[in-house]
């Protein structure tokens, strides 16, 4: 699964820690999601999308092999 979290954060000038604090997870969790080592739960993905005021499909995309 690909994601645009790093891009979204850059556009809003938000650090990993600020995002983590806003949605109630650790900075390490945000890092793991951004690098593709961790697939977020539906609830976590929706919280991220709501925070960025963006549809979840614009942040997370399935890859061909998913």
Q: What is the CATH number of the domain that holds 54?
A: 1.10.260.40
Residue 10 lies in a domain: yes
Rounded to two decimals, the pTM is 0.91
Residue 65 lies in a domain: no
Range of the domain at 29: 2-58
Residue 64 lies in a domain: no
Contact between 43 and 25 under an 8 Å Cβ cutoff? The reply is no
Number of domains in the chain: 1
Beta bridge mates, 2: 61
**Tens digit of each residue's pLDDT (9 = 90 or more) over 18-52:** 999 999 999 999 999 999 999 999 999 999 999 99
Q: What is the pLDDT of residue 65?
A: 85
Residue 63 lies in a domain: no
């Amino acid at each position: 699964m690909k994601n645009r979290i790093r891009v979204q954060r850059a556009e809003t000038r938000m650090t990993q820690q600020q995002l983590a604090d806003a949605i109630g997870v650790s900075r390490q969790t945000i890092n793991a999601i951004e690098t593709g080592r961790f697939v977020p739960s539906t609830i976590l993905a929706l919280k991220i999308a709501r925070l960025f005021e963006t549809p979840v499909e614009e942040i997370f995309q399935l890859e061909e092999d998913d």
